[in-house]
Amino acid sequence: MYKYNGLLVHQSQDEQGILEIIEEKGVRSLHFGSSPKQSSMLLDEPNRLYSPYARAMMAWQLFKEKPEKLLMIGLGGGILAKYYLYHFPKCLIKAVEYRKTVVKIARSHFGLPLDPRLKVIIDDGGQYIRKKSRQQTDLHDLLIIDAFDQKGLAEPVKQQAFFDDCKNLLSEDGILVVNLWSTDKSLFEEIAWYLGRSFNWRVLFLPVRKRGNIIGFAFSENMPQITVKQLKTRAAQLENQYQIEFPKFIRDFKRHNREIFNQAIR
């Protein structure tokens, strides 16, 4: 059976709705009962980041060395979690996913391994962030938010309090990375305002070329100072190491953040 221009290889349903896996031209994708792809993986190169938005979410590497403690809100197909396990062997990862069925699919169809460095928590991401923020006993140097449902961006991400709580969970030099959807301009502007207020406008936005995603980056107060020259040198090194278009990210950062670029990176 064909669906969304590809071969339907799996379909199931839980209390939150339909989950489908589609294969097309060597790419396996997870869908939540609609055409937008939640996760995509190259079948021949499962440890490579295929989706442009997933590669753009790695642009934090321009500003920070390898992470030690990572918190992910939204697991999806587990593509990013698997990538971190593969490339950052000393990184400890917590991933919060609302749907238990999604975790099962990440393991059965996208190769997410059972690994002692990865702890998967079945919980509402917003509630988890709020609870941990009150405790402030477990800080992270990288917090990645990629939380969508069949309707779009998850509801907790649309609230000022959510980003205030996220800031409380970051270390002094931590970075928050959030995947946003730009087609709803008013919602994007609202969330951009929330990010700015929570992080004292130390924020940058990276539109994903030819896609509807915009990746937001927010920085804690004590992020190490870095110059544009250092960024360019680091981008070339990272591109060679990871085969990700880091030099393009710098150009897009400067183009789309003219007024706040220097403020954000000092």
* Catalytic residue chosen out of the listed positions 44, 115, 123, 146: 146
Residue with tokens 């979410």: 57
CA 166 to chain centre: 14
CA 211 to chain centre: 15
- How far is it, in rounded angstroms, from Cα 24 to Cα 176? 32
Instruction: Please indicate whether residue 146 is annotated as part of the active site.
Output: yes
Residue 91's contacts (CB-CB under 8 Å, 6 or more residues apart) are: 66, 67, 68, 69, 70, 84, 85, 117
| Cα radius of gyration rounded to whole Å, the chain | 18
Q: What share of the chain is helix, strand, coil (3-state, %, to 5)?
A: 35, 30, 35
Catalytic residue list: 146
